[in-house]
Amino acid sequence: MRLVARIVLFTAVLLPACILAADTGSMGNVVLVRVPNGGQAVAAKITEGGTMHLLYNSGDIPYYVKSPDGGGSFSSPIAVVDKASRKPGLVFSGMSMAVGKGNTVYVAMITNNWQIKLPDVPDGLIYATLALGAKAFTPVRSLNRRPSEGFSLAADGNGDVAASWLAGRLFANFSRDVTAEPSPPTLRSATHTCPASAVRPARFTPQTGTSRCSTGSEPTTSEICM
């Protein structure tokens, strides 16, 4: 039977945040893997070929590593936040990660600047990308430039990227990269809203560019995000 690899992040109630649980499938065993450098796991993905991609928080910023052997070894950590964006007292926390076309890595973050109110710090959903073969993430920037929360990213092998966030209502940004090269797409600034009650993840179909809010009831016109 073909083994299906999955990664499960346990909550702190079950295991410390510095522990990952790798499930190799119904015929395999669950293996506990310690997050590098005592970090706190945020998200883990396994892409075609078995490469594990891991985002974790450590100190004031998140880091990214990958493993070709299910957590047996990890690459050297890559800081997600560029040095120019770091300031004393400012904490960047990883919130979501997606791996898309060409194994490009997309990361969404939040900061504590709503508390310390430093000048010239981007607000809202903070975003950075790492292209295949790159040695550093792009400089961080804000996708929405407004106070927000509940960040989530999704990407597919066609270059489509979706980012969702909450600011009283559910918003989403989309990008479509139809070029042959696996360069990181730029998310468009245009946003689309859903009712405030629709706080569950929206269903997104990259091929048609449609997204529908999940309210548990039959959709109405106001529930169609685009």
Q: Retrieve residue 86's tokens.
A: 């770091």
Please tell me the total number of residues recorded for the chain in this structure: 226
How many whole angstroms separate alpha carbon 149 and alpha carbon 114?
Answer: 12
- List the beta bridge partners of residue 211: 204
**pLDDT for residue 21:** 58
pTM: 0.74
DSSP states of 86-151: --TT--EEEEEEEE-GGG-EEEEEEESHHHH--TT---SSEEEEE-TT-SSPPPPEESS-S--EEE
pLDDT tens-place values along the chain, 226 residues long:
333 344 444 433 345 556 665 555 545 677 788 899 999 999 999 998 889 999 999 999 999 999 999 888 999 999 999 999 999 999 999 999 999 999 999 999 999 999 999 999 999 999 999 998 899 999 999 998 899 999 999 999 888 999 999 998 999 888 876 443 333 444 544 445 554 443 334 444 444 444 444 434 333 322 223 3
How many whole angstroms separate alpha carbon 107 and alpha carbon 10?
Answer: 20
Contacts 24+ apart (CB under 8 A), 187-194: 187/127, 187/143, 187/161, 187/163, 189/143, 191/144, 192/225, 192/226, 193/169, 193/225, 194/169, 194/170, 194/223, 194/225
How many whole angstroms separate alpha carbon 93 and alpha carbon 101?
Answer: 24
How many whole angstroms separate alpha carbon 77 and alpha carbon 4?
Answer: 26
Q: Give the residue extent of every domain in the chain.
A: 1-77, 80-200
Instruction: Find, among 187, 14, 38, 197, the residue nearest to 106 by Cα.
Output: 187
